[in-house]
Structure 1
Amino acid sequence: MNPGLDKLATYFIVKALKNGDLSAYEKIYKAYYSRLFNFARKFQSTSSEPDDFVQQTFMNIWEKKELLDENILLEKQIYVICKNIILNHIKREQKMQSYSNLDDVLPYPGEDQSTLEGSNEEDNWKKNKLASLIDQLPEKRKEVYLLHKLNNLSYEEISESLGISKKTIANHIYLASVFIKERV
């Protein structure tokens, strides 16, 4: 197989893929896996590896094969899918990091942030408020949030410990952060 597929080859392989032909899917996988992996390595992510992005790309190709256009070079379509997966993941990571600072999440009501320095009563209020909000989370979300935020475990470590995907972990942490932020 060529490193990439020309327009004619794209037309026939996408048609076969749309008809559920697994051999067409395998040809695409073999033709593009290493190139996509090298492409994904250029992006920085704290919670996912390039292989995760490539695997997600191929999952999307199979699950949404009917959306592929046989009149557009397959290579372009595959790179756009992978790029969008990576950029969406990075945006979610940046959103979650913006929630990770407790001073941003739990300000003392009616007080300027600069007045919070060194006050035990105010620190206790923030801790109690945070504990109360965390207790309101669904059990699995609470467990994931505490493992990540309080125990400083990585997504990989949480994934191995709980047997859930890193994407599910990211979703739990994001939803927990939004829940907390909305209730302050």
Structure 2
Amino acid sequence: MRYQQSDPDVRLMLRVRDDDAAAFEELLRKYHPRLVRLMRTIGPRPDLAEDLAQETFMRVFRARHRYEPGAKFSTWLFTIAANVARNAARSMGRRQEVSEVDAPAAPDGSQAVGVLAATALEASGLMPTRLVEGVERAEIVRQAVSVLGERQRTALMLSRFENLSYAEISEAMGLSTKAVKSLLSRARVNLREILQPYIDAGVIPNEVDP
């Protein structure tokens, strides 16, 4: 009842549970772009982001009659998304690793790249000595985020990009709050290591051992 009263998206999902197609379309419009951006980072390959976002919503739809509002809708959705991303990585038979991060084709693509770049720099605790623009910024994002381990990358993006709390990330990833805090701490250390050469000398590092 608490989430039903406080989260309008929970109320929408309850309508979806009752086979309200318009409510499902509303949730799809609201969250699909966010899922695509998230899957570009936590999915096994950026070019699979659209398919993985669609698969996430297919699971939401298939689970609609079993839905019970035990958390914010976004937390429940990102739990499903994280599972979809992990399953996709397993099916490819290799450790989840993002090879590149491109600006989305959507009209707000440049803004998304900027947010990702700011996320990497802010999370590392470092500040650039000069403005980072265009291709160079996208390359920094690619290098800084893609080399993180799967769980570090997921925790970081849910925290900094989706603004989930420790408790919400814990629920979405099936980890303890302590484990989430540890993941985010290690991600910040690794990002600092990745970005330090650029901050010091403008050199974009090729790789780092996370």
Mark the structure with the bigger radius of gyration. 1
The question of a shared fold, defined as TM-score above 0.5 by the shorter chain, is answered with no
TM-score w.r.t. the length of structure 2 is 0.39
TM-score w.r.t. the length of structure 1 is 0.45
